[in-house]
Amino acid sequence: MEDNKMNRREAIDKLAHIITSEDHNHLEDPTTKHPKPPFNKQFQPFPGLAGKMEPVPDHGETSYVGSGRLKGRKALVTGGDSGIGRAAAIAFAREGADVAINYLPEEEEDAKEVIKLIEDEGRIAAAIPGDIRDESFCQKLVSEAVSRLGGIDILVNNAGHQKSNESILDISTEAFDRTMKTNIYAPFWIIKAALPYLKPGSSIIGLSSVQAYDPSADLYDYAQTKAATTSYVKSLAKQLGPKGIRVNGVAPGPVWTALEVSGGQTQENLVKFGEDTPLGRPGQPAELASIFVQLADNSGSFATGQIYGSAGGSGQP
């Protein structure tokens, strides 16, 4: 009897050693996992293409592995051609969801790659180009996504406009209007259009930022919109909670996206982009993908009105 106990204990100890060793072999140092500054100066006309960046961002094209967490779900992602929206769209598809992405017509080259990645997973992919600064288009966007996917139960308001300006005096009314329309008006219009289709269990995810908590001097207008996003997430969560619809937000820190090389950062700041985080580098879109999956998944059913931070050690949410 004593020998049997000893054998079982030895077997358990051996298994624990194997598991520990395997886990150790798969550990990844976050400080060296992705490219670190200095980066080369590079500029693209707005809105920019991820495929032309150096280095090209990692959206999870080869790294994200799904496990069926969103099987049968239907998602609409604005700004789904590149950046964080692209990472979310790829992850959703690999978790079993059908996905519609919105983007500007100038971003067609990036969007085609995303559509193919979604279809490679055997999921329905709907490409819906257009400018969300137009209310009528926002309404059309939702109705077309519902028609082509057969419904909608995940809405990600990811698309955003960011332009660095040294002084408030450098921001024209037209430029200010573009930032407000893209970042604040569009989610308002899209959510209103989508609500009649959202059933209990549906999820709305907004894109906030560390800029909502610690705004940069040169992002005066953009930072305001991210503070507003944080507020609408918390307000709408209270309004829609009784209906069984969850509303949450994601607040990234510096993330390597086309937004930054098309006017979101000065060329001087781009060279050292992300170096002031404790991890010493910017994030890659793929590193945020699992957060969007968790917020959309039924397993996250008690999370609403929350802002999930991912900022490399900076930020406050």
Q: Which of 64, 103, 213, 222 is catalytic?
A: 222
Q: Is the peptide bond before 38 cis (omega within 30 degrees of 0)?
A: yes
Asked whether the beta carbons of 254 and 312 are under 8 A apart, the reply is: yes
Rounded CA-CA distance 101/135 in Å is 17
In terms of DSSP bridges, do strands 246-252 and 154-157 run parallel, antiparallel, or are they unpaired? unpaired
- Other CB atoms within 10 Å distance of the CB of residue 105: 10
Cα 161 to Cα 284: distance, rounded to the nearest angstrom = 18
Rg of the chain, C-alpha, whole Å = 21
222 is an active site residue? yes
Peptide bond between residue 57 and the one before it cis (omega within 30 degrees of 0): no
* Cα–Cα distance measured from residue 104 to residue 115, given in angstroms and rounded to the nearest whole number: 14
Dist. CA 264–CA 273, nearest whole Å: 11
Longest dimension (CA), the chain: 84
Closest CA to 204 of 265, 165, 245, 163: 245
Pairwise CA distance, residues 258 & 45, whole Å: 10
Q: Tell me how far apart the alpha carbons of residues 224 and 139 are, in angstroms, rounded to a whole number.
A: 25
Distance (Å, rounded) from C-alpha 37 to C-alpha 282?
A: 8
Cβ(47)–Cβ(130) below 8 Å: no
Residues annotated as catalytic (active site), given as ranges: 222
